[in-house]
Amino acid sequence: MAAPTAGLHFTPEVLEALKKQGVLIAEITLHVGLGTFQPIRTDVVEQHKLHTETYVIGEDAAAQLESARKEGRRVIAVGTTSVRTLEFAAGPGGEIEPQSGEADIFIYPGWRGGDKPNRGFRVVNAMLTNFHLPKSTLLMLVSAFSGKEYVLNAYSHAVDERYRFFSYGDCMFIE
C-alpha cells in the first residue's frame, strides 16, 4: 500500500559504499497497510488500534540481526515501519529468529515493549526516518524512541527551514 519511503534515500551506489565501509544490510519484508497512515482518532492513545501488516524475516536477515545484537553492534532501522516490525518480532531478550506473521504493535510515548532500559526498545538502536504528519502513529513511534522534546525541537527546525514532510520529504537520523 506504500513505498518504502525512508529507503528511497539509498541508491545502489550509496548501498555499495556503505557495504565497502563494513556496514551489513539485513533486508526484511513488510507489507505496509493504510492503517499505518491513518491519524489517531481516539482521546486515549492506548485505545488506538493499528491494522495488522504481514512481515517476513528470513534466515539471513535474522542471523545478521542476532549477530549484531550478540556483538553489541548497532541495529539501525530504515523507516519507522521497520522499527515496528523488528520490535514486534523480537523475543523477550531482543532475539530475532527467522519468522513471518502479522504485526500489529503500536509504539507510542510511554510504551514499554521489553526488558531493555530506556524506552523499552529491544532491537533497534537508531533509525533513519522521514518527517511525519501530526497525529500519526509514525510520529508517535519517533517520539517514543527519542523523546517528545527532542522531536518537537527537530520538527520546529524542519518547519522553520521548510523541510518536506511525509513520504517523499526530508529525513533524519536519530539514536
Question: Which DSSP category does 79 fall into?
Answer: S
Domain locations along the chain? 5-174
pLDDT in tens, 84-116: 999 999 998 899 999 999 988 888 887 765 443
> d(Cα 65, Cα 63) in Å, to the nearest integer?
5
More confident residue, 6 or 73: 73
pLDDT in tens, 11-30: 899 999 999 999 999 999 98
Beta bridge pairs of residue 103? 53
Classify domain 5-174 at the CATH class level: alpha beta
Q: What is the pLDDT of the chain when averaged over all its residues?
A: 84
